[in-house]
Amino acid sequence: MLANSNATANLAVKDLAKAKAFYAGTLGLEQVHDEGGELIVYRSGSTTINVYHSEFAGTNKATAVTWMVGDEIGNVVNGLKSKGVAFEHYDMPGLTMEGDIHVGHGMKVAWFKDPDGNILNLVDR
């Protein structure tokens, strides 16, 4: 039923100005729509991400958005670190750390958070 429909990630934030500085400024996403202080839509590749104001921002304790960056994962991690992004380090079975990148199970993954604590990640796929 939905196999041919596009999907969009939705991220709740407390402060849209702070979120805009992070998603447009730090991550370099292109803003494509702004609904007057309640919702900003960003383009990421051929998809979009809705960043919206909510009192429930920061309550999700799981990964909210994944970017598949392929072999560029090391360069992307270094680029984001140079812009002040701090990467998360998790103790996960079967994964070892190479700098800020978790390695194992045939993949490389790096996790980081936005200013509201939404968990975002990069994967080498």
pLDDT tens per residue, range 82-93: 999 999 999 999
Q: Supply the pLDDT for residue 101.
A: 98
Rounded mean pLDDT, 113-118: 96
Token pair 């960043």 in the structure block, residue = 51
Residue 37 has pLDDT above 90, yes or no: no
Which one, of 80, 86, 77, lies nearest residue 113 by Cα?
86
Residue 5 has pLDDT above 90, yes or no: no
Rounded mean pLDDT, 85-103: 97
Residue 44 has pLDDT above 90, yes or no: yes
Rounded-to-integer distance, Cα 55 and Cα 59, Å: 9
Strand partners, 88: 111
Q: Supply the pLDDT for residue 2.
A: 82
Domains of the chain: 9-123 (3.10.180.10)
CB 64 within 8 A of CB 117: no
Residue 1 has pLDDT above 90, yes or no: no
pLDDT band at residue 6 using 50, 70 and 90 as cut-offs: confident
Residue 36 has pLDDT above 90, yes or no: no
pTM of the model as a whole: 0.93
CB 50 within 8 A of CB 9: yes
Which one, of 6, 23, 7, lies nearest residue 15 by Cα?
23
DSSP state of 107: E
